[in-house]
Structure 1
Amino acid sequence: MKMKSDKEIVRLSRRTVYQNRWMQVNEDKVRFPAGFEGIYGVVEKPPFAIIIPVHSDGRIQMVQQFRYPIGRRCWELPQGSWEDTPESTPEALARGELAEETGYRAQSMQKIGEMFPAEGLLNQLCHIFVAHGLEEGETSREATETDMETASFSMEEIMAMFENGEMPDANSMAALGYWKMKAGFGL
């Protein structure tokens, strides 16, 4: 049980400055632990899942798409949220995103952890899953994902993509690192 402490930032008021289907941006008036007041920008987004799809030969299924904010195509793990059904279970979300983006269905889906990708400004929670027993099928991509490609890579190839900038996605890096650490520590 979380206990409130005098070392927390307290929200005094909230003003929504922007909102669309995918996010809400708030400006909160806050009181800091030392007693002074200020503002805090908070972006609200529904939870998302990131999936590490592992083939029987150990290769990882990835996706590539154009990422408008950075102006280029990048490889990353399949990931996404369901803005229209935020009450979906994390596993249903992970299974759905895997099938939608790659066409693969998983016989087993194991949740290995959670993370907040940008807790300094974003309240979005990420559920990390590993998928095994992959069976190929048809993709069902959204209209905004029609340029998406999918391919499988060895961990060595993925490391090379990290190093040469083809895979700058922090969520993919964190999920793969956590998965490898967890396996290495026998957790």
Structure 2
Amino acid sequence: MFKVINSKEIYKNKWMRLREDIIERANGVKGIYTVVEKNDFAVIIAIENGMLQLVTQYRHPIQERSLELPMGAWPEKPNANPLDLALGELQEETGYKANHIEKLGFQYVDNGASTVGAHIFYATDLEFVGKNLDEEEADLESCELSVKDFESKIVSGEVTDATTIAAFALAKLKGFV
């Protein structure tokens, strides 16, 4: 375990906080550790009639569109119940209400640099009720693919979002997909 000698906030906005820790390792070696603090989010594997609900959106850090599972957080409600968050994000991004949803697990996204984690849900018995996109998601488009086609896109490198791949793998390994 590291001993924190000093910690200071470097930057903060509604989505994240960046802090810099001066640490001392167990062997006495001192160093610096930069940590990105973000609220946990929900990611949803939603399947109806063998079709997986997905979204594509422009991701500024990589400057390209990304094919992903529906996911998100509510910065204005950092302590939102993960189930409510999952149901809300699914409807917001795809227009579907899940009449059956269950939590599959939790995964840290980048535990070497960030506190953010993903609550992973599996949703079925979907009913289209209409999208409710945030202003910031104006370019988000929803689509659906068969599980087989989606897996092919992972293998070919067309799907590059690690959270999407890890959540899908968890669902598959647990026998949901």
TM-score range, shorter chain: over 0.9
After the TM superposition, which segments of 4 or more aligned residues of structure 1 sit over 2 Å from their partners? 163-166
Structure-2-length-normalised TM-score: 0.96
1:144 corresponds to which of 136, 141, 151: 136
Question: Counterpart of 2:92 in 1: which secondary structure?
Answer: helix
Report whether the alignment pairs 1:17 with 2:2.
no
> Aligned-residue CA RMSD in angstroms?
1.1
Counterpart position of 1:36? 29
Question: Counterpart of 1:74 in 2: which secondary structure?
Answer: strand
* Aligned positions, number: 176
2:175 corresponds to which of 151, 172, 183: 183
1:90 corresponds to which of 77, 82, 97: 82
> 2:26 is matched by which residue type in structure 1?
P
Q: Percent identity?
A: 37
Question: Counterpart of 1:178 in 2: which secondary structure?
Answer: helix
More strand by share: 2
Structure 2 CA distance, aligned partners of 1:28 and 1:64? 36
Structure-1-length-normalised TM-score: 0.91
Q: How far off is 1:26 after superposition?
A: 0.5
> 1:168 is matched by which residue type in structure 2?
T
Counterpart position of 1:166? 158
Which deviations, in whole Å up to 9, do the C-alpha atoms of 1:40-75 show, x marking residues without a partner?
Answer: 0000001100000010x1211000011111111111
Which deviations, in whole Å up to 9, do the C-alpha atoms of 1:65-87 show, x marking residues without a partner?
Answer: 11111111111000001111011
Mapping for residues 70-149 of structure 1, pairs under 5 Å: 70-149=62-141
**Which residues of structure 2 form unaligned runs of 5+?**
none
